[in-house]
Amino acid sequence: MGALALDASVAIAVLDATDAHHEQATAALRAQGRSPLVMAASAYSEALVQPLSKGREDAVEEFIESLGVEVVAADRRIGWRAAELRVRHRALRLPDALVLATAQACEADLLTFDDRLARLAGEGAQS
């Protein structure tokens, strides 16, 4: 199994036991075994918003550290690919385009609970 890119929705679900996707997210991460985990810096920021507002940013840091998630900064190549994705898929929001572009740059499968983003990732975002 190759690398797995995590969308913010996965981290948010894992960190919130009341989230509708909590069980599914924790099971998916348990099942990933030793596959490398990556997360776009934009998704990391998104996952931090709610915990930070409650003074619980340590939970996000513990999540990242305990799973060995590599937070990937957007460079020119990722920025370019995100722009291409936005041109091709006009309704795709920039944060989602950055997540998808990061997954592609890392040659990683994308784990997300956003159905549209999952569909684009499954299509290789070429349509």
Judge whether 127 lies within some domain: no
Give the pLDDT confidence score for residue 2 in this predicted structure.
Answer: 84
pTM for this entry: 0.89
Judge whether 77 lies within some domain: yes
Give the pLDDT confidence score for residue 127 in this predicted structure.
Answer: 33
Contacts of 7 by beta carbon, 8 Å cutoff, 6+ apart:
43, 99, 110, 111, 112, 113, 114, 117
Judge whether 84 lies within some domain: yes
Give the pLDDT confidence score for residue 126 in this predicted structure.
Answer: 44
DSSP state of 15: H
Instruction: Count the domains in the chain.
Output: 1
Tell me the per-residue pLDDT of 34-89, one tens digit each, with 9 for 90 and over. 889 999 999 999 999 999 999 999 999 999 999 999 999 999 999 999 999 999 99
Give percent of the chain above pLDDT 70: 96
Domain housing 101: 4-122
pLDDT, mean of residues 91-120: 94
CATH of the domain at 67: 3.40.50.1010
